[in-house]
Structures are given as C-alpha cells and as structure tokens.
C-alpha cells in the first residue's frame, strides 16, 4: 500500500471480538484483524496498534455493542453504558482511540453500522431505506430511512431498541418464559440465540429440530412484520449467527406473507420471487458491521477545535 495515501479505519466492536479494518478512499477493504474482546484497556490497545501499522489514517468509524451514548454533543459520547459485559460498563471508547490515533472518530451502534454497510455497499444499492436486523446472541435493528441512519431522541432512550419489542407469545405452543433479564418474553427473550439455547438445551448452530426452527421463524416473521408496518423499508436484511440456519429465512418469508394477510398497506414488493428480494441475508456476509464502520469513518468530520 502507498504509505502517502490516507486510509479509513473501521471497528466492529462486539462483546466477544473486535473486527478492525482499513479501507481505501473508495471504501475497499485493504486489511482486517480480529481481536478478542477482553478488558477495555487491552482490547482498545490492540486496536490502536493495528491502526498504527496502517498510517496515514484519515478517520476512524466504530460500530459498537451497547447500550452506548451516540449523541455527539453529550459529555459521555462514545461511552458504553450499563452493559452486563464485565468491565465494560461506563467505558469511554471514543476518547482513547481519538487520543492515541489523533483522528476524528465517529461512533454508532453495531446494528446501525451494519445497516449503513449493507445500504452503501451491499443489499441497499440504489435504495432510500433499509432495515438490518441481527438475530444472534441478542437481537437488534439498525435502519436507514430517507437516506440517513435512524437515531433515538436527544434525551431519554439513546437509540432504538427494537430487540425488546413485544411479540405475541402463545404459552401453550411455547411454554418457555423468555430469557430477557428485563422483560422475560420480549422479542429478544423469545427469539435470540441465547433464548434458543435455554429453551432447547443446545445452541442454535447445533439445533436441527424442525419444531424449533418453525417457532423461531414465527417470531422472526412477527418482528419483520412489525418492522414493515413501522418503517416501510424497501428491504430488510436479516443477519447474525441464528439467521445463518438455511431453514430460517425461507420459513420467515412464507410466514410473513400469511401474516400480512393481504392488507393493502405498507407495500412489500409484489410478484413472483419478490419476497426473496425483500427479506434477505446480508450481501456482505459477516463483514456488514466493519464495512459500515469504515463508511462511518468516510463521513466523519474533524472534531471542532
Ligand atoms: Zn427485553
């Protein structure tokens, strides 16, 4: 790589790993590195060393697990808030990166970064809106509406928490009480990888019982239905480890069609195969988050002096 040409950095900061990448001015990835998430000092330090090997760095984007303060004007901007992840509550992620690397740092949620990545460089090409739902250990949604990322209010909730919406829970069909420590049987409590592990006694990647995947498709289809009615996005990308099971998305599409029940409301694309283009897997695969973080960097502005 030509050392004189600036690169843009991105971090997908997850609870188990940080994926770091640098890209050229056009957003093409040049190098990536995966760092295990340990203590904040060790993890941030390892990320700094990665970017120090890829100078000159123009800006850095971070898509992080949360809850996180994403209000640029807030005194705690870039702080991870009350996370159960040991050692990370109240951790300032932005300041040490900015201080060590001397570049603008733009931070958003992991799901917003993934939504941005898919919108700019994956499944969203040419669209004005897109929602990205991750169904993994937890459940979250990021969204682009009217050509911009959706954020929360300036006070109160810091960012949307779609994973904690309520969906119908039939205790006869599904006696599991739900795994959310706050709400029990919210969407995440019923449909996350963690809920599947606790309900069925094994992790989703080792679960082949068709009953389990039918139930999972029911909950994910209800979530997609709610997203459709709330945001009317042009496309919904469903990523995350649980969504990799080959039976899930086809069953979600089929169930969604019947849940929509012919209501002539917020349109989902019509015609043969249209549902296959409406609810889709990430085109960027596992890279949606880090590609989106790089996109955050490419639109980062220098901090006011
Ligand atoms: Zn919940």
Ligand 1 center from residue 162 Cα (angstroms): 9
* pLDDT at residue 271, rounded to an integer: 73
Does CATH place domain 123-281 in 3.30.420.40? yes
Q: Alpha helices, DSSP H only, in the chain? A: 40-52, 94-101, 110-121, 187-191, 193-200, 210-231, 248-260, 274-278, 288-298
- In the reported structure, the alpha carbon of residue 200 is separated from the centroid of ligand 1 by a whole-number distance in angstroms of 19
**Is 3.30.420.40 the CATH classification of the domain at 7-110+286-300?**
yes
Residue 107, C-beta contacts closer than 8 angstroms, at least 6 positions apart = 61, 62, 63, 64, 68, 70, 77, 78, 93, 94, 296
Q: Which residues, 6+ apart, have CB-to-CB distance to 144 below 8 Å?
A: 115, 116, 119, 124, 128, 129, 130, 131, 150, 233
pLDDT value of position 156: 45
Strand-pair partners of 142 = 132
Cα–ligand 1 centroid distance for 161 (angstroms): 9
Q: Are 54 and 12 in contact (CB under 8 A)?
A: no
User: Structure pTM?
Assistant: 0.93
Ligand 1 centroid from CA 188, angstroms: 6
Neighbours of ion ligand 1 (CB under 5 A): 164, 180, 182-183, 186
- Ligand 1 center to 271 CA (angstroms): 36
Distance CA 2, CA 88 (A): 37
The owner of tokens 């992080």 is 64
Confidence (pLDDT) at 266: 57
pLDDT of residue 305: 38
Q: Which residue has the tokens 């951790």?
A: 91
Q: Supply the pLDDT for residue 208.
A: 93
Q: How far is the CA of 179 from the centre of ligand 1 (A)?
A: 8
Residue 157 Cα to ligand 1 middle (Å): 14
What's the CA-to-centroid distance between 78 and ligand 1, angstroms?
23
Distance 64 CA to ligand 1 centre (A): 19
Q: How far is the CA of 204 from the centre of ligand 1 (A)?
A: 19
- Enumerate the H helices of 61-109 as residue ranges: 94-101
* Residue 10 parent element (H or E): strand 7-13
What confidence score (pLDDT) does residue 259 get?
93
Q: Residues in the chain with pLDDT < 70?
A: 1-3, 153-158, 265-267, 301-305
CA terminus-to-terminus distance, the chain: 31
Q: Could you tell me the distance, in angstroms and rounded to a whole number, from the CA of residue 194 to the centre of ligand 1?
A: 12
- CB burial class (10 A; 0-12, 13-18, 19+) of residue 248? buried
Which pLDDT belongs to residue 270? 74
SS3 category, 29 = strand
What's the confidence (pLDDT) of residue 231?
92
Residue 22, classed as helix, strand or coil, is strand
The CATH 3.30.420.40 domain(s) of the chain lie at 7-110+286-300, 123-281
Q: How far is the CA of 28 from the centre of ligand 1 (A)?
A: 37
Minimal CA–CA distance to 81: which of 96, 65, 97, 100? 65
Distance 303 CA to ligand 1 centre (A): 35
């Amino acid at each position: 790589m030509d050392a004189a040409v600036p690169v843009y950095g991105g971090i997908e900061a997850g609870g188990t790993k940080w994926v770091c990448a640098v890209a050229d001015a056009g957003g093409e990835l040049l190098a990536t590195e995966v760092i295990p998430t340990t203590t904040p000092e060790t993890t941030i330090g390892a990320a700094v060393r990665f970017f120090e090997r890829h100078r000159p760095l123009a800006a850095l984007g971070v898509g992080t697990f949360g809850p996180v303060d994403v209000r640029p004007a807030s005194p705690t901007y870039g702080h991870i808030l009350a996370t159960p992840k040991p050692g990370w509550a109240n951790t300032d992620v932005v300041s040490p990166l900015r201080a060590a690397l001397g570049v603008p740092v733009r931070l958003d949620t992991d799901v917003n970064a993934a939504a941005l990545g898919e919108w700019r460089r994956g499944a969203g090409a040419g669209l004005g809106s897109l929602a990205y739902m991750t169904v993994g250990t937890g459940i979250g949604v990021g969204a682009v509406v009217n050509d911009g990322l959706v954020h929360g209010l300036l006070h109160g909730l810091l960012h949307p928490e779609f994973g904690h919406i309520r969906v119908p829970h039939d205790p006869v069909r599904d006696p599991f009480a739900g795994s959310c420590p706050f709400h029990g049987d919210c969407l995440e409590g019923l449909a996350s990888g963690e809920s599947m592990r606790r309900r069925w006694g094994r992790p989703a990647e080792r679960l082949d019982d068709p009953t389990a995947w039918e139930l999972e498709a029911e909950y994910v289809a209800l979530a997609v239905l709610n997203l459709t009615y709330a945001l009317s996005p042009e496309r919904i990308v469903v990523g995350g480890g649980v969504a990799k099971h080959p039976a899930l998305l086809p069953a979600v599409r089929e169930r969604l069609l019947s849940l929509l029940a012919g209501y002539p409301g917020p349109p989902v694309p019509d015609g043969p195969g249209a549902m296959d283009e409406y609810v889709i897997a990430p085109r960027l695969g596992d890279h949606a988050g880090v590609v989106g973080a790089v996109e955050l960097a490419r639109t980062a502005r220098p901090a006011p002096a």
